Structure formats: C-alpha cells, structure tokens
Amino acid sequence: MDRFLVLPPHEGNQYIIMLDDVIRYCLDDIFGVFNYSDYEAYTFKFSRDAELDIEEDVSKSFLEILSDSLKKRKTSPPVRFVYDRNMPDMLRDKILSKISGGKTYHLVEGDRYHNSKDFMNFPDLLGPEHAYKKIAPLWHKDIIERESIFNTIQKKDLLLHFPYQSFNHMLDMLREASIDPKVRSIRITLYRVANQSAVINALINASRNGKNVKVFLEVQARFDEKQNIYLAEKLQEAGVKIIKNIPGFKIHAKLLLIRRKEDNKNLYFGYIGTGNFNESTAKQYVDVGLLTSDRGMTHEIRKVFELFEATYRPMRFRHLIVSPFSTRNFFMKMLEYEINEAKAGRESWAIIKLNNLDDKRIVNKLYKASQAGVKIKMIIRSICTLVPGVKGVSENIEVFSILDKYLEHARITAFCHGEDTKVFIGSADWMGRNLNNRVEVTAPVRDETLKQELLDMLDIQLRDNTKARIVDGTFANRFKRNNLPKVRTQWDTYDYLKQKHYKNPS
C-alpha cells in the first residue's frame, strides 16, 4: 500500500494521513479481542549486514554460490537499530533481545517516522504549477538523425551530459551496432541497469545478429545482485558471453567498446562515463560520458577488458587512469605539480567534483596543497572528511555541496597545470574502496572545445548561490548566499547546453 492516504476534502481543506497513523488509529480494532485498555505504538527499523559471505565451492558455479549467499543475507546479523526516542526503555530492550539475542550493535535515536525517502512519492495535490516543469532532453547538435553515429565519432570526440541531453543517443548507438554489418564485436561493463532495460535488449539483438558480444556484469552490485543474476542468465541464453568477476575486486568502470571492420581494418569506438548504462537513472542522475575513436584511448579500453578476461595482473596505462593501479598516485602527482607551481609564485589551482572524498592520503595532500598556496575549490555531494577553511591547514580550500532536482553524480577534475589546463572525467570517487578494491577508469578530455565546455559547467556550479551549501567543520550545511545574480546550477547548465545544442527534433 502507499505510505500516504489522501482523505476526502473537508471545509475547503485537503488532508493526508500516513499509513503509520492509520495503523495507530486502528490498534483497538486489531487487538480488541484481548480487551486491553490502553494502546501505544512506536516505529523502529533494524538493518542487517549486507556483506555477502562468498564461500568457495568448486562444485558450484559463481552464480550458484552468489545465489546461496543472497539467501543467507536474510538472516545476517543486525548492525543498526533505529527507534522512536519516545519508546520506553523496557520495550526497546525487549525488542533488541528478540532481534539480536542480546548482542549489541549501533543504536540510533530517531523520530516518530522513519524512511523519509518515501516522501519522493508524496501525492501531487497542488497541481502542475507547483511541480517541477519537465524539460525536454536536448539533442546533441553533432549527432544527425539518419546518419551513422560512428561516422560522427570518427570526425571528433563527443561529450554527452545526462539528463540534460538524451540517453537515447546511447541506446541508438547500441541499436545501430546491433544491426550494422560492419560491427564485429561489442564489449560493455554493466553495474546497475533499468528494470526493463533497452541496453540489455540491444545486446541480445546484437548477439542474435552474429556479433561477438561480451558483457562484464557486476553481479555483486549491492542490492542488485538478484536482478543481475537474472540478467546474466538471460544474456547467456542469447549467446552473450558473461565475463567472470575478478576475486576481491568490483568492476565499477563505465566502459563500452565497439569494433567495426572497414576496408579490412579494425576501427574502435569507445565510451567512458561517470554513470551506469541505465536509461532510468539517466533521467535523474547528472552524469557525463566521452565518446571517442582516439586510437590510444580505445587501445587502452581494450586493455581494461583484457584485464577482466585474463588472470589478474598489474597493467600500465599511458592514456587512461585505472584503479587499483594508478588513480591515487596520479592525482597525488597532479596536486604535487600545483604545489610546485604555487611555491614558484605561478598560478596554481584545482577544481574537484566528486560524490565522496575520504581517502586519507589524498586528503593530506590537499591540505599540503592549500598550505603551499594552491587555490582549491571542491564540489562534494556526500561524504567529505576534509575540513576546509582551517587557518594554516586548509584556508585555501572551499567545499560546496549541491542538492537539487537531480542527483549530482559526475566525477570531474580540473587542474591549472601551468598553461596546459588538464580536465578528467571518470567513475572513481576518492575513497579507499574506489582506489584500492575496484576497477575504475578515469579519462582525460583533450579536445579543447570539450575541455572548455566542462570548465564552463564547473564555473556555473561554483557560482551557484541558490542550491549550493557550504561544507565546513560546523556541519551547519548553510546555503551559499550572496548579492550576485541568481545562479542555480541545474537550471543554468540546461540553458548553457541549450545554447550550444539543438533541441530534440522529435
């Protein structure tokens, strides 16, 4: 049932009641047979350990082992208990003893209601004028209808910005590849896909049309394991090869590689993104992806896929930055370059946009950069263990968080680097798990026009004085306010891209 029940209008007012309170109101009806005189109700929730206990069993396939582990998750030990702070201690302790057998774990005092994410489905009673206006995804001006996208990518690199631009560009590319007689093979990494995935359908069609299709489907994507096991079986039935996992590592990179045969030559077309190949989340998550036919880049995308298929071994990359091999050290070196520039009295700065930042070594390097005089501006949506603005430690660092209609999900970094500004996009946050225990790919954006496009968009975000919040050591999350013209990142970014690209012709 829905969490919210819309009641009939009364005297010109509209009322909504939560399902929680319907249950509270009806306790007498539920328990009346016991003839109690008083009724009280308190909400609580407990979370179980979601880590999967993967046991080695040579007699079973990996998917069978994972399926068994998913069943065990239902009886995993509780790790957190959130409860109404008005719940009597005796009742709380009684519940704890029943759930955990007296074992202790993280207790969190809460309020009367939990699961606030349900408010995303709050009834729309005020009419469309009070809801966000739907925007039409923009059509990339260089992608021409009824013309092969491969011809376009051969001419120059392209950047796609979701949800401002249409994810149909990616779907059309996969569909074209599935029926193009020149296409010989498709390689793709999948982490989370839509429930009714057009991406999966395109890959199945490609396989049925004789293309060599290989998919690395990260079946251990947390809480999507069951869905991904089903998809793996569905793809295998269609002749798609599912590449096995690398023990101890998750594949979080967002990669696509298509091989075409033209004039007896192999031509490669690659995609490196910050978000999943998921047409549903592409409407809600702000991500960016690079389409390229650059020989150096596509060659190294091939090397990453070879890494998946071969026995795990360290690899060297000249063009791509790949975890767990080099991501941390690469960005430490980029910061060290800026430190040396600052010490020499030259311009030095860095702009860093991530979802999460908690890697101690990088955080310490950022502190050193600040102390050397490097101007650092950061847009960190979620976890940030760095404390900006501390005199003598981080006074040259500013951190903002932008929360608005869409989820800011892209990872973009830019460095002054003398007179040769460097800009990168990729899948990796600066966290221990992303740098040590996942295969992540970050790519340089070399085309000067595309580089400036990303710098312009970062500038819009840094000037946001509507939805940007200031991150500091007080945890106040104050909105950034000033007397400058109003800037709202997601609105202004759409307008910026609209000026550069044509609308969807449909």
Residues acting as catalytic residues:
252
Q: Tell me 504's DSSP state.
A: P
Distance of CA 352 to the CA centre of its chain: 16
Helix (H) or strand (E) holding 162, with range, is strand 158-162
Tokens 């109101």 belong to residue: 25
Tokens 């951190």 belong to residue: 399
Tokens 């609209």 belong to residue: 498
Scanning 26-87, the segments in alpha helix (DSSP H) are 27-31, 62-73
Please state, in angstroms and as integers, the Cα–Cα distance from residue 397 to each residue in 6, 56, 381, 425, 482, following that order.
48, 47, 16, 21, 19
Please name the amino acid found at residue 224.
Answer: D
Contact between 1 and 19 under an 8 Å Cβ cutoff? The reply is yes
| Beta strand spans in 163-264 (E) | 183-190, 212-217, 241-242, 250-251, 254-262
Residues 6+ apart with CB under 8 A from 437: 248, 249, 250, 324
For the record, the structure tokens of 114 come out as 């939990």
Please state, in angstroms and as integers, the Cα–Cα distance from residue 436 to each residue in 106, 189, 253, 382, following that order.
27, 19, 13, 20
Q: How far apart, in whole angstroms, are the C-alpha atoms of residue 333 and residue 429?
A: 17
For residue 349, give the nearest of 389, 384, 377, 379 by alpha carbon. Answer: 377
